A and B are shown apart, each in its own frame.
Chain A
Amino acid sequence: AMEKDLNQNSPRIRKIRDNSYPPNTPTSRMNNNNQRDNHPNSPRDYNYSPSSPTARLRWRNRSNEIPAEVKRGNASNVRNLLLGDKNKYRSMWIRTCSSLWMLGGVFFIIYMGHLYIWAMVVGIQIFMAKELFFLLRRAHEERRLPGFRLLNWHFFFTAMLFVYGRILQQQLVNTVSSDRFIYKLVSGLIKYQMVICYFLYIAGFMWFILTLKKKMYKYQFGQYAWTHMILIVVFTQSSFTVANIFEGIFWFLLPAALIAMNDVAAYFFGFYFGKTPLIKLSPKKTWEGFIGASVATTISAFLFANVLGQFQWLTCPRKDLSTGWLHCDPGPLFRPEYYPLPTWIASFSPWKEISILPVQWHAFSLGLFASVIAPFGGFFASGFKRAFKIKDFGDSIPGHGGFTDRMDCQMVMAIFAYIYIQSFIVHQDYSVEMILDHISISLGHEEQKMLYAKLGDILRHKLQGGV
């Protein structure tokens, strides 16, 4: 319950991407702290530096925020991030506190398990959607239509039913196998899931059409389209995240950690070495920060994967919706392989061989993606905010802005992680499992027996025929 508005000068707390420094001002050497006199304390200035070592503890991303009103002509109006503001320590303190709380919360939830992580993702989703819907409405506050807000949430609910119904089908079926009646109910629901969601959607669609008012058509259609875009953006990311979670918390934790790592590393590299600007959209980013962060992220991906891969809690997939402890055979990806160190290293190090989990090689690609492509999610968000002249997506998190600001890079990464897993990791091991799952979902008991009998015939035939 921290006070959201710290600086009397700005309505919102500025968040600054702590990656790099404006290179084109002579006073941007960050090791020189005596530049205070060069810039008046202008209201929209970069007052809050999201600094430093505490940023490492940050769980979520920070978005790039450059208010549109900043006068760029004032070259001497230095955007020294860490200087020149009396409030910066206070804001840094607030950011640190909220980061710590977030981090602590996340650790706790991970400890609790898959179901709770899912609940957390759903909660974040709801907040994100709320922020974005609110943003949508705020832009046209004078034209509020009664019941429109409800329509948005109707579509949100439909999307949630659809997405989680599809993803968690298998888990749901496995959870209720024991009881006969609920089993039939659940499998009936799953079978007709598409129809149910479709009719919900059509109901929302018709409701929309019936509430069209003369002279507000353009506004209403615009709203409708934006609602769809918002839901797509929010749900694509979270649905893939949830799918990853149930494959194993590892596949959720590693990409998210890599994004955070990338942020922090980029900040540091920009801090110390930043000279050449990276992209016009984010003037504070530098090539040195970018490249340094890429290298650091890929290396840390390698190491993180090793550390995280040793916990069964993180690597085992969850096949149902229970919350108990997990035991499984982690699969060939997580079995350590031992490589002897070359002799010239072995001579002065205590370890004679290193153990590498095969998954670490995959982690390289994840790290590469996180450092090269995922920042574009951040660019997209900042471009979007600049285009529509909004400062933050919301103000739920003290010191940071809204949830959407935190999640912009995560979005791109979650989708990539899911697709990577489905294409390069899962298929190698589990096709028999997949078909078994498919059988248990889509066929009834008698049909399964029929399939079993027919398959038995075919196999016997093949073996006898000597094929």
Chain B
Amino acid sequence: MHKENTGDAPSAPTPRVLHHRKRNFDAVAGAGKPNGSHLLVNDKSKYKSFLIRAYSTVWMIGGFALIVYLGHLYITAMVVVLQIFMARELFNLLRRTHEDKQLPGFRLLNWHFFFTAMLFVYGRILSQRLVNTVTPDKVLYRLVTSLIKYHMAICYSLYISGFVWFILTLKKKMYKYQFSQYAWTHMILIVVFTQSSFTVANIFEGIFWFLLPASLIVINDIFAYICGFFFGRTPLIKLSPKKTWEGFIGASITTMISAFLLANIMGRFLWLTCPREDLSTGWLQCDPGPLFKQETHALPGWISNWVRLDTVQYWNSYTSNLHCFLNGKRRFTLQLPWKEISVLPDFGDSIPGHGGITDRMDCQMVMAVFAYIYHQSFVVPQSLSVDKLLDQIITSLTLEEQQALFTKLGQMLQEVIGS
């Protein structure tokens, strides 16, 4: 079904797979109007499309809440599934414009590279957790540790075999097409996997670090829509004619505030804040760390209540909002030029009223990377990396090696003190 990302399309709300992303309210209005009066305020049929989007959004949120409840492993599975769908959409996108040039086995090559990338990325991220999961059993342990040790070599051999396969299937007169496809496959995989690998890394640090950024993007969207709905007048950027400055600024402010509040709410649940050290699915108990301990601050006298706040809120609300700021601008630019070029309305049509999965995920991509880097640089050092390192030492070295390490560390410290 050929959906337009506008309110005019009489798209039937076919219930499909439960997706968890929110919709982009701002793109509801009729984009077909060439003149400038296509802001949301002026659209007549917006209410109908509003309903359709509301319906699918509710389903998506419900599904998402269920998955968060189930746990880290299921969230990862969901991310993987989304990845597969995104990759499929993007691969199809390219092939659609050159339908006549079908090369046998080329599609398979794409999926081969996809599988290699998945093995590489998740192997790296989850190697420590995998080791922690299989410690009891001896044979399995050795199998897993050797897999991890040769992980890079395995992935590289897979990649090289794909590379050689590609070269061997080069056909005369189709070189250019094949090379472009090869390059685009790489770009697509990079785009898809950067985001999802960082997302999964965030998840295992604590669902909080995945949930909060994702929700902020969604909230940013919703409020941009609402503010544009009611107040939108001045257009924001040529690329996305339906965006307005009022929507943008209003959304920024509300996102900042809600980041603050959301962090407070989410930070109370151990299920969300504890990192998952292995691949189990059971309940989590942990010491959440200084970030999630409550500090009480006195409010100025005219508000007489004591309100409890979490430290993490300060950091997160400010920087995350900054990023949502930038994301909001970027998302539409990612969407629209593609569509102009290839005369494609959407990346796909998996979600009714919204378009494809890539349409939903484009903002999330940038956010996931930022959340990960932020977390690694500013959050983790405040917590207990000494213990993590100690765990690593105990698990991966033998007793003799540990003692050797101990003596060498002692020497190193002596040198530093002495110098």
Contact = CB atoms under 8 A, between A and B. Distances in A.
Q: Do these two chains interact?
A: yes
Interface of A: 177-178, 191-192, 194-195, 198, 202, 205-206, 209, 212, 214, 217-218, 221, 225-226, 228-229, 232, 279-281, 373, 376, 379-380, 383-384, 386-388, 412, 415-416, 419-420, 422-424, 427, 431-432, 435-436, 438-440, 442-443, 445, 447-452, 454-456, 458-459, 462, 467
Contacts of A194: 373, 376-377
Contacts of B179: 383-384, 387-388
A202 B156 CA distance: 29
A32 B92 CA distance: 54
B167 A380 contact: yes
A442 B164 CA distance: 39
The dominant DSSP class at the A interface is: helix
Interface string B386-403: 100110111011010111
A209 B333 contact: yes
Given A225-B187, A229-B186, A462 B396 contact: no
Contacts of B178: 387
A338 B152 CA distance: 33
Given A373-B164, A455-B405, 5 more contacts: A191-B377, A191-B381, A218-B337, A376-B163, A416-B160
A436 B412 contact: yes
B406 A443 contact: no
B34 interface: no
A419 B153 contact: yes
Q: Give the one of B149, B187, B326, B409 with max A CB within 10 A.
A: B409
A455 B406 contact: yes
B238 A455 contact: no
B416 to A, nearest CB: 7
A452 B410 contact: yes
B64 interface: no
A281 B153 contact: no
Contacts of B412: 436, 440, 448
A455 B390 contact: yes
Nearest to B329: A209
A185 B179 CA distance: 44
A243 B275 CA distance: 32
Contact of A228 (B149, B190, B340, B397): B190
Given A432-B397, A462-B399, A455 B409 contact: yes
Contacts of A228: 187, 190
B176 A212 contact: no
Q: Give the one of A225, A449, A450, A456 with max B CB within 10 A.
A: A225
Interface in B351-386: 366, 369-370, 373-374, 376-378, 381, 385-386
B156 A419 contact: yes
A209 B330 contact: yes
Contacts of B164: 373, 376
30 contacts: A191-B381, A192-B377, A194-B377, A195-B373, A198-B370, A212-B333, A229-B183, A232-B186, A279-B168, A380-B163, A383-B170, A387-B179, A388-B176, A388-B179, A412-B163, A415-B156, A422-B152, A424-B153, A432-B405, A440-B412, A443-B385, A447-B386, A448-B413, A449-B413, A455-B390, A455-B406, A456-B406, A458-B402, A459-B402, A467-B399
Contacts of B183: 225-226, 229
Contacts of A412: 160, 163
Interface in B158-189: 160, 163-164, 167-168, 170, 172, 175-176, 178-179, 183-184, 186-187
B408 A432 contact: yes
Contacts of A380: 163, 167
When A and B form their complex, which 6 residue pairs have the shortest distance between CB atoms, in order from nearest?
Answer: A387-B175, A217-B337, A423-B153, A387-B176, A218-B341, A195-B377
A451 B390 contact: yes
Contacts of A206: 326, 329-330
A438 B390 CA distance: 12
A385 to B, nearest CB: 9
Contacts of B405: 432, 435-436, 455
B35 interface: no
B150 interface: yes
A431 B405 CA distance: 10
Nearest to B376: A194
B9 interface: no
A383 B175 contact: yes
A436 B386 CA distance: 13
Nearest to B149: A427
A443 B239 contact: no
Nearest to B188: A225
B102 interface: no
Q: Give the one of B186, B333, B338, B404 with max A CB within 10 A.
A: B333
Nearest to B179: A387
Interface of B: 149-150, 152-153, 156, 160, 163-164, 167-168, 170, 172, 175-176, 178-179, 183-184, 186-187, 190, 238-239, 326, 329-330, 333, 337-338, 340-341, 366, 369-370, 373-374, 376-378, 381, 385-386, 389-390, 392-394, 396-397, 399, 401-406, 408-410, 412-413, 416, 419
A265 to B, nearest CB: 21
Contacts of B394: 458
Nearest to B175: A387
B153 A420 contact: yes
A14 B119 CA distance: 42
Contacts of B326: 202, 206
Contact of A435 (B172, B381, B393): B393
Contacts of A192: 377
B142 to A, nearest CB: 15
B341 A217 contact: yes
Contacts of B386: 443, 447, 450-451, 454
A348 B369 CA distance: 68
A448 B390 CA distance: 11
Contact of A281 (B150, B163, B167, B187): B167
Contacts of A376: 163-164, 167
B373 A198 contact: yes
B362 to A, nearest CB: 12
A288 B152 CA distance: 33
Contacts of B378: 195
A454 B408 CA distance: 15
B299 to A, nearest CB: 33
A431 B153 CA distance: 18
B416 A445 contact: yes
Contact of B385 (A221, A279, A379, A442): A442
B390 to A, nearest CB: 6
A431 B333 contact: no
Contacts of A432: 397, 401, 404-405, 408
Contacts of B163: 376, 380, 412
Contacts of A195: 373-374, 377-378
Contact of A438 (B168, B184, B340, B389): B389
A416 B402 CA distance: 31
A436 B184 contact: no
A48 to B, nearest CB: 24
Contacts of A280: 170, 172
Contacts of B337: 212, 217-218, 221
Contacts of B184: 225
Q: Give the one of A379, A436, A451, A459 with max B CB within 10 A.
A: A451
A232 B374 CA distance: 24
Contacts of B392: 435
Contacts of A440: 412
Contacts of A462: 399
A388 B179 CA distance: 9
B150 A442 contact: no
Contacts of B150: 423
Contacts of A415: 156
Contacts of A448: 409, 412-413
